[in-house]
Chain A
Amino acid sequence: MKKWTELVPGAVVLEAGSSAKFKTGSWRTFRPEWLQENCIQCLMCWLYCPDMAVKVADGKMTGFDYDYCKGCGVCAKECPGKQGKKAIIMKPEGK
């Protein structure tokens, strides 16, 4: 936006949930990785994700939405995993 005339009139946002156009994935320094073989589909990652960045389809976790994941690591910490093996691990971004 360069000129004030391009501002939305009256600061009204006309579209619900338009924040989806703003991608927060670049905030991330750690990246969650999903190990499908250890996943028990408890959906705790989906429930606890503060950024709605866990993708689910038909009631099952299918991966992460890296456009929005801020890399906080709550999902990895809360993941119960299978037999002590986590289904989500955090890895440094860019490696």
Chain B
Amino acid sequence: METRELLKWSAQVKLREKSKQEGRLEHGHRMCAGCGAPTVVKMVLMATEYPVVLSNATGCLEVSTCIQEFTAWKTPWIHTAFENAAATLAGVETMYRALLKKGKMPENVKFIAFGGDGGTYDIGLQSLSGAMERGHDMLYVCYDNGAYMNTGIQRSSATPLGADTTTSPAGSANPAGKLQQRKDLTRIMADHGIYAAQASPSHWLDLMNKVKKAHSIKGAKFLNIIAPCNRGWRTATDNSIELSRLAVETCYWPLYEIEDGKLKVTVTPEEKKPVDLFFKPQGRFKHLYSPENEGVLEKIQAQIDKTWERLLKESEGPC
């Protein structure tokens, strides 16, 4: 307990130092009140102690940070289409390497691409896979809110089983919401032989450490971060950090990293909570508590347990 307190204290001192630095995302952006995505971006950029170049796939984050006449970014930032955030940045990084060789660029510039789950899991998957396979020196950050929230809450392949969205509605014909499992993208990216990790803004120290670690590795890196959306998840605006914490504590969103094919669980919850605690505050799972959906929650819980056990078994030693 004492070391944990000490660790917390030293982290707090570092946070104090960070607060004296100028932020790279400015206020006045038009993300919804209580959105998880700006917090995620803020933390990623806070942990990046280098000059950065960013590219952004279409999504909430892109459109609401650059509404005509204004930009919330204080870094070089490229507005790309839905499918090519990774491809655009890969090109920029290649150009940078060429200019670096000629001595026309400063050293140690980092490249980060941001994309939502729609632009990452679905539409941008092929360009992302290509960039990761070619081994460009860049970090791709996916802020996963589990649906196409920007266009009005349509299902994506990151939407969890049982969630109610506008294109997987729970109703009389299909009382259970989305019928399919979500895609395990972190694993898919790790299978490219790169550094891949999962993080949550509630565990900010773990998140920042993963960003720092990613920057210390040369080559392609992928980070998948949960970013609660109170509109799409049908929950109160003050719930975003609490929900991301519950996602970790229920093992719905386990925190782990994969490096050189070796998996390590970075945060083990003190007590694994039932997934019910994560689902209950969210209106998108409301129908799962009605009598016609009996057994669905148990099925989801069993799947989460299975994945968590598999992770622990593969992990090199949880801490």
Q: Residues of A at under 8 Å CB distance from B? A: 7-8, 11, 13, 15-24, 27-28, 42-43, 46-53, 56, 58-60, 65, 68, 70-74, 76-78, 90
- Interface residue SS majority, chain B: loop
Q: Which single member of A18, A19, A50, A65 contacts B36 (CB below 8 Å)?
A: A50
- Interface residue SS majority, chain A: loop
Cα A53 to Cα B39 with chains together (Å): 12
> Is the CB–CB distance between B42 and A24 below 8 Å?
no
Q: Can you list 30 A-B contacts with CB-CB less than 8 angstroms, sorted by A residue number? A: A8-B69, A13-B70, A15-B71, A16-B26, A17-B72, A17-B74, A19-B26, A22-B30, A23-B28, A24-B29, A42-B12, A46-B19, A47-B39, A47-B43, A48-B201, A49-B39, A50-B38, A50-B240, A51-B29, A51-B33, A52-B23, A52-B25, A52-B26, A59-B16, A60-B16, A73-B238, A74-B238, A77-B238, A77-B239, A78-B241
Q: Is B237 an interface residue (CB 8 A)?
A: yes
Min CB distance, B46 to chain A, in Å?
Answer: 8
Cα A11 to Cα B67 with chains together (Å): 10
> Is the CB–CB distance between A71 and B33 below 8 Å?
yes
> Is the CB–CB distance between B34 and A50 below 8 Å?
yes
Q: Which residue of B lies closest to A42 (CB)?
A: B12
* A-chain residues with CB within 8 Å of residue B43 when the two chains form the complex: 47
* A-chain residues with CB within 8 Å of residue B15 when the two chains form the complex: 43, 47
* A-chain residues with CB within 8 Å of residue B19 when the two chains form the complex: 43, 46, 56, 59
> Is the CB–CB distance between A19 and B16 below 8 Å?
no
Min CB distance, B220 to chain A, in Å?
Answer: 27
Given contacts A21-B70, A27-B33, A59-B19, whether A68 and B28 have CB atoms under 8 Å apart is yes
Q: Is B290 an interface residue (CB 8 A)?
A: no
> Is the CB–CB distance between B26 and A47 below 8 Å?
no
Most buried by B among A15, A17, A21, A27: A17
Cα A51 to Cα B28 with chains together (Å): 7
Min CB distance, B241 to chain A, in Å?
Answer: 5
> Is the CB–CB distance between B72 and A59 below 8 Å?
no
Min CB distance, B71 to chain A, in Å?
Answer: 5
Q: Is B308 an interface residue (CB 8 A)?
A: no
Q: Which single member of A16, A18, A70, A71 contacts B69 (CB below 8 Å)?
A: A18
* B-chain residues with CB within 8 Å of residue A43 when the two chains form the complex: 12, 15-16, 19
* B-chain residues with CB within 8 Å of residue A52 when the two chains form the complex: 23, 25-27, 38, 42
Given contacts A19-B72, A20-B27, whether A51 and B241 have CB atoms under 8 Å apart is no
* B-chain residues with CB within 8 Å of residue A21 when the two chains form the complex: 28, 70
Q: Is B35 an interface residue (CB 8 A)?
A: yes
Cα A68 to Cα B27 with chains together (Å): 7
Number of interface residues of B (CB under 8 A): 45
Cα A74 to Cα B72 with chains together (Å): 21
Q: Which residue of B lies closest to A51 (CB)?
A: B27
> Is the CB–CB distance between B39 and A48 below 8 Å?
yes
* A-chain residues with CB within 8 Å of residue B73 when the two chains form the complex: 16-17
Most buried by A among B27, B33, B66, B71: B27
Q: Which single member of B32, B34, B71, B201 contacts A19 (CB below 8 Å)?
A: B71
Chain B 106-149, CB-CB to A under 8 Å as 1, else 0, gives 00000000000000000000000000000000000000000000
For the complex with contacts A15-B71, A19-B26, A22-B67, 15 further pairs of A-B residues with Cβ separation under 8 Å are A8-B68, A13-B69, A18-B70, A19-B29, A19-B30, A19-B71, A23-B28, A24-B28, A24-B29, A43-B12, A50-B31, A52-B27, A56-B19, A56-B20, A73-B237
Cα A51 to Cα B30 with chains together (Å): 9
Q: Is B242 an interface residue (CB 8 A)?
A: yes
Q: Which single member of B71, B236, B242 contacts A13 (CB below 8 Å)?
A: B71
Q: Is B270 an interface residue (CB 8 A)?
A: no
* A-chain residues with CB within 8 Å of residue B39 when the two chains form the complex: 47-50, 74
